[in-house]
């Protein structure tokens, strides 16, 4: 059963980075920013930091997609009792390596983000429960849940199974949020699911586990930030976390969507790892891309770090009925700018 934890109010960001400067294991510095109390729109942002390209492709899936949760590309990951389902909801996502979904939202305003967690342990395979390979964990929820509450209920019906791509194991945890501002962080520790559910859960890093992250953050106080508040400026996870928490605490109320997206992307850029920086041996990887989502209006923003432009697409502008084509757009082009909804093209074959 899911272990639900309701802990004290914490932060306003989700960072996938280590919270202790002495942590010696390899880390990734991904960042997710949730802003669910601005009275305008629920908006969220994340950075993807990785040692190589994850081959991101913006993809629109209509309703009625037939899924096999036991496959990782052409490889059968779950041999016994793989989960199979038909998607109830359409979604706009960023895929990774063509075998899973790293980030995205669905037509009901549920969104989510896979982030690295070194301590992830999905446990021994229980063949009595349908298995979903970890790369499709988020897609399963986007396909079938309208909000965070429904997503958590669905998690009781399946088992997430470890997979691998490009030599990297999918040791991940998941952050989800919906258009109401509800939020949850899902982890598997020592083979057991741990869920932190509540609107107050706006910040997360990958290692250590979320329980420990919450305890560590209590030592940092940005509840009364000022222009004299000292901020660290290094690239280590603790310094980035403190900067992100500080800037999140001083965000002004936005008057328009443009202001809200600008605000969370500004923080995401502030805590990003510069592209091409010489961090060999640091266990810290370059930021590959950043996304932002307006859950209220179902608009998806994407910024590749090697491109000077932010692009976006409106999920509602696509044909989403069952039988409509899967649409895709490769974002690695400096010619792309602004609203790219009309630049998506039908996929010759769905990625999964």
CA 104 from chain centre, in angstroms, equals: 7
In the numeric block, which tokens belong to residue 137?
Answer: 């964990």
The answer to whether 261 and 292 have CB atoms below 8 angstroms apart is: yes
Active site residue 30: yes
**Helices marked H in the chain — which ranges?**
137-144, 148-155, 210-217, 237-249, 257-270
Distance (Å, whole) CA 78 – CA 133: 7
Distance (Å, whole) CA 341 – CA 338: 9
List the catalytic residue out of 10, 13, 29, 30: 30
Residue labelled with tokens 């109010």: 9
Q: Does the CA dihedral 127-149-323-74 come out positive or negative?
A: negative
**Strand-pair partners of 37:** none
Tell me 236's DSSP state: S
Distance (Å, whole) CA 193 – CA 12: 23
Distance (Å, whole) CA 171 – CA 11: 23
Tell me 135's DSSP state: G
Phi, then psi, of 258 in degrees rounded to 5? -55, -40
3-state secondary structure of 31: strand
Q: Catalytic residue numbers?
A: 30
């Amino acid at each position: 059963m899911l272990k639900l934890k309701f802990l004290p109010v914490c932060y306003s960001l989700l960072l996938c980075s280590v919270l202790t400067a002495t942590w010696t294991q390899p880390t990734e510095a991904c960042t997710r920013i949730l802003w669910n109390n601005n009275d305008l729109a629920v908006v969220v942002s994340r950075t993807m930091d990785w040692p190589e390209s994850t081959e991101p492709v913006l993809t629109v899936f209509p309703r009625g997609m037939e899924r096999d949760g036991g496959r990782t590309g052409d490889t059968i990951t779950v041999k016994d009792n793989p989960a199979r389902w038909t998607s109830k909801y359409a979604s706009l996502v960023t895929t990774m390596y063509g075998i899973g979904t790293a980030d995205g939202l669905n037509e009901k305003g549920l969104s989510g983000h896979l982030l690295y967690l070194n301590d992830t342990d999905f446990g021994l395979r229980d063949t009595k429960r349908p298995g979903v390979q970890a790369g499709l964990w988020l897609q399963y929820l986007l396909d079938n849940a309208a909000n965070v509450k429904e997503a958590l209920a669905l998690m009781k019906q399946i088992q997430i199974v470890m997979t691998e791509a490009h030599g990297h194991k999918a040791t991940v945890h998941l952050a989800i949020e919906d258009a109401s501002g509800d939020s949850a962080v899902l982890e598997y520790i020592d083979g057991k699911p741990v869920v932190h559910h509540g609107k107050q859960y706006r910040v997360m890093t990958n290692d250590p586990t979320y329980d420990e992250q919450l305890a560590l953050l209590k030592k940092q106080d940005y509840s009364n930030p000022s222009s004299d508040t000292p901020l660290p400026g290094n690239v280590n996870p603790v310094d980035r976390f403190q900067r992100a928490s500080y800037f999140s605490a001083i965000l002004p109320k936005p008057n328009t969507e443009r202001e809200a997206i600008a605000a969370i992307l500004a923080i995401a850029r502030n805590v990003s790892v510069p592209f091409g920086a010489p961090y060999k041996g640091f266990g810290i990887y370059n930021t590959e891309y950043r996304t932002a989502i307006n859950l209220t209006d179902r608009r998806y923003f994407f910024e590749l770090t090697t491109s000077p432009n932010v692009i976006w697409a409106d999920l509602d502008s696509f044909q989403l009925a069952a039988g409509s084509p899967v649409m895709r757009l490769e974002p690695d082009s400096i010619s792309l700018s602004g609203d790219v909804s009309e630049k998506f093209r039908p996929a010759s074959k769905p990625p999964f």
